[in-house]
């Protein structure tokens, strides 16, 4: 194991409180890129489409002059709702994967629609899917994964999420059983999985062939049970600091990084601490300390 060069560690706009393309209260994209460099990272995600420049030549220039590289883009899907969702998903993919692939990214992180709005906290639908909805969900993701690979050479990495239909261990496990490994694998978000009590290392060991990408974050366990007991919406929990700076929360990141690095040292592990609504001056020192913590707690991390 000592010969393993370790996972590729990066960060994302989310760790700077960026959830939307053009929220005036978010950190400007130029400052985000400059602070990523100052924090010591080389890899970043695209973030919400339209936050960073969407012209591939401009984005390549902005990243290149800072020595930054792109690991992935992100889209949102709701395949359980029926056939009409395909066009919505593919239109996003044409934009996001079309841009990200031109800059060398090989992954598309796919986040399912939430049953409770992250913008208004309104309850939009039932918290659970019936069997028919599960079939639609799985078929949609396999279709998307196949199309992404054929059109862009990109791999779909599905991201379970708080306040979504797929969040618990059993729900993630069912998702894996109902989808095709060839087209659909996991962006295992350590914080979102722990949000509902999921054991990250157990999942990695049980389904090693399905782990394609990591998001690194921790949950504040001192708040978590209050959040769950009182049914606090995820967006409100984020503004209250539910996703906390490592190493102050759970899960411990070192065993997760080491277990994943043993599978494939080329897997990305992107720090993604949900901090929407924070002051623009808050993220940079946290990002820097988080990187230092990760590289101090495990040998299985690398810059590029």
Torsion angle defined by CA atoms of residues 37, 43, 47 and 50, in that order, rounded to the nearest 10 degrees: 70
Of 41, 94, 91, 50, whose CA–CA distance to 70 is shortest? 41
Q: What pLDDT, in 10s, does the model give residues 179-220?
A: 999 999 999 999 999 999 999 999 999 999 999 999 999 999
pLDDT at 301: 83
Check: pTM over 0.85? Answer yes or no: yes
> What stretches in the chain show pLDDT beneath 50?
1-4
Tell me the residue ranges of DSSP E strands in 21-97: 43-45, 69-77
């Amino acid at each position: 194991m000592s010969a393993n060069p370790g996972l590729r560690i990066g960060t994302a706009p989310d760790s700077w409180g960026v959830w939307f393309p053009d929220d005036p209260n978010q950190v400007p994209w130029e400052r985000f890129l400059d602070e990523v460099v100052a924090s010591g990272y080389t890899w970043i995600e695209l973030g919400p489409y339209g936050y960073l420049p969407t012209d591939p030549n401009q984005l390549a220039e902005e990243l290149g002059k800072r020595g930054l590289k792109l690991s992935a883009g992100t889209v949102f899907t709701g395949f359980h709702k029926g056939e009409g969702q395909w066009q919505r998903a593919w239109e996003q993919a044409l934009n996001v994967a079309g841009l990200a692939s031109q800059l060398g990214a090989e992954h598309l992180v796919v986040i399912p629609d939430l049953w409770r709005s992250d913008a208004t906290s309104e309850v939009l639908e039932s918290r659970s899917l019936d069997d028919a909805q599960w079939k639609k969900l799985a078929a949609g993701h396999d279709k998307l994964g196949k199309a992404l690979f054929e059109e862009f050479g990109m791999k779909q990495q599905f991201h379970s999420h708080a306040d979504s239909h797929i969040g618990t261990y059993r729900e993630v496990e069912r998702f894996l059983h109902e989808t095709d490994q060839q087209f659909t694998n996991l962006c295992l978000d350590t914080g979102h999985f722990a949000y509902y009590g999921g054991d990250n290392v157990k999942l990695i060991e049980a389904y090693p062939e399905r782990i394609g990408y990591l998001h690194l974050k921790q949950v504040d366990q001192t708040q978590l049970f209050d959040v769950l007991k009182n049914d606090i919406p995820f967006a409100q929990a984020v503004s209250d600091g539910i996703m906390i700076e490592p190493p102050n929360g759970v899960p411990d990141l070192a065993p997760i990084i080491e277990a994943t690095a043993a599978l494939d040292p080329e897997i990305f592990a992107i720090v993604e601490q949900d901090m929407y609504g924070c002051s623009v001056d808050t993220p940079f020192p946290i990002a820097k300390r988080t990187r230092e913590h990760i590289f101090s707690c495990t040998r299985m991390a690398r810059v590029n």
